[in-house]
Amino acid sequence: MAVVRAWIYLLFTLICFGRVWYLFRLSTASLRAPRIPTTHTIPADVDRSIPISMGAEPKGIFYFVQISDLHISKFRPKGHTHYFLHFIRSILPVLKPSFVVVTGDLTDAKDMRRVTSQQYVEEWSLYNYAIDQGVQGTRWYDMRGNHDCFDLPSWKSRANLYRTHGQSASLIAEGGGIYAWEERLEYGRYKFIAIDACPKKGPSRPLNFFGYLTSKAMDQLASHVLSDSYNHTFMFSHYPTTTMVFGLGDILQAYHPSTQSLELELGDLKEHGLYRIVAIDHDLISFVDTPLPSAIMKSRPERLIPLDNTTVLWPHAVDIAPVVLITNPKEARFSIPAKEPLEQIQKSTHLRFLVFSSLDPSQLQVSIWIDNIEHIHPAEFVGNQEMPLWVAKWDPSSLELKELHTIRVQVDTPTMIGSSSIEFRLDNQRTKVNGGTGEWIISTHMTSTVRFCFSTSSF
């Protein structure tokens, strides 16, 4: 009798396990083997015969822009919507990037008193119309953040206004939450992956702070990523790869030693007015995070959602101070020795940097200091309409190999000053990111296996 009972228990346990396994497979089906649709292929194969060395040529370099956390809001005119419209009106025409990526929280979806959440069609329409009416000649990629998924029963739900108003909605739908695109340039191939990490079915606030991709899905995603040969792979997600809630308020910047990838969180546009420019110059990756000008940050529009819901009420464009992005040498804190040809720095004949300004290069006065000593060679504009590249001759062999050096580039216009300074090395070593708590948290919750990752989170 006891034997029979034991068998029954065993059978019952097995059935339970089976059921659990079935439910698990069912609920994570969409995460397995993500099909990544690829768009925008510029056909042309990598010409390996071109000897790559960093000189004065405006070649081997491209750049893009990332913004995050727009929180377009029906109820909050200051910041939020206003900054977004200014980004399009005042910043984008000066930057002229290859493309813009928005990593989530396109709309605010909160009510007047910030108590309840709801998807407002006016917020989504404004987002959509602003891009349609204000962005010309720049590709635009977007993905949802947690605010864009508040109160959504499913992707197909009518409340999912991203599906009807998001710029990349069809790509996300097709790829089951993930899409990718590729830049094929004559000197290299670069892959970009966007992850829509909204919970597919709905916990509403506060549980949907967590991204939905499991670490297993991340691994699969990564194997997908690593299976192809790209000079660099960039991943964008609204959630840090650790899907954590501990990092509140910290800007995450971390280097993952086991995977040789770098994770860089970008601050928000809605309150801090931040945008990021990322340049890839001879496979060295550099970026700069810049806030909107104070003239924009201080101005207070009265009304943002137009009465007819369709014509965008554009603010007057504001001049911006020059934005400087140094691409050679590369900032040592963010170097990825296994993935970047850092030896190029030592071999290079010129310092290289991008200067974004609405003024003609002839009206800019550029000064350079290395280790606080004014650089003897003058800076020279060698770029064109598409590439605001400046160079200055230099001799890296005159600098101490094993030390940390600083370079500062300052650009004066008749009325404004822009500058950038970074620390660099010539021995291909990396220096600590100093990400503080953020880095510690990421390094203790290692889930990412991708090479380079731009994420953002807001709670």
Ligand X SMILES: *[C@@H]1O[C@H](CO)[C@@H](O)[C@H](O)[C@H]1NC(C)=O
Name the site residues for ligand X (rule: CB under 6 A): 46, 48, 52, 60, 121-122, 187-188, 231, 282-283, 308-309, 341
For the bound state, the minimum distance from the C-beta of residue 24 to ligand X, rounded and expressed in Å, comes to: 40
For the bound state, the minimum distance from the C-beta of residue 433 to ligand X, rounded and expressed in Å, comes to: 23
For the bound state, the minimum distance from the C-beta of residue 283 to ligand X, rounded and expressed in Å, comes to: 4
For the bound state, the minimum distance from the C-beta of residue 121 to ligand X, rounded and expressed in Å, comes to: 5
Q: Which residues pair with 355 in a beta bridge?
A: 324
Nearest CB to ligand X, comparing residues 10 and 112: 112
Residues contacting 27, CB < 8 A, separation 6+: none
What single string gives the DSSP state of each residue in 159-180?
A: T-HHHHH-TTHHHHHHTTTEEE
For the bound state, the minimum distance from the C-beta of residue 152 to ligand X, rounded and expressed in Å, comes to: 18
Nearest CB to ligand X, comparing residues 175 and 188: 188
Nearest CB to ligand X, comparing residues 145 and 188: 188
For the bound state, the minimum distance from the C-beta of residue 129 to ligand X, rounded and expressed in Å, comes to: 12
Nearest CB to ligand X, comparing residues 123 and 439: 123
Query: In degrees rounded to 5, what are phi and psi of residue 68?
Result: -155, 155
Nearest CB to ligand X, comparing residues 81 and 457: 81
CA distance 42 to 432: 37
CA distance 281 to 84: 28
Nearest CB to ligand X, comparing residues 309 and 444: 309
For the bound state, the minimum distance from the C-beta of residue 295 to ligand X, rounded and expressed in Å, comes to: 30
- Spatial CA neighbour of 109 closest among 154, 159, 174: 159
CA distance 368 to 419: 10
Residues contacting 379, CB < 8 A, separation 6+: 351, 366, 367, 368, 390, 391, 392, 409
Whether residue 77 contacts residue 301, with contact meaning beta carbons closer than 8 Å, is answered with yes
For the bound state, the minimum distance from the C-beta of residue 35 to ligand X, rounded and expressed in Å, comes to: 26
Whether residue 179 contacts residue 168, with contact meaning beta carbons closer than 8 Å, is answered with yes
Token readout for 92 is: 């984008």
Q: What DSSP element (H or E) covers 2?
A: helix 2-27
Amino acid identity at 233: T
Nearest CB to ligand X, comparing residues 121 and 251: 121
Nearest CB to ligand X, comparing residues 170 and 309: 309
CA distance 169 to 177: 9
Q: What is the dihedral of CA 90, 95, 98, 102, to 10 degrees?
A: -50
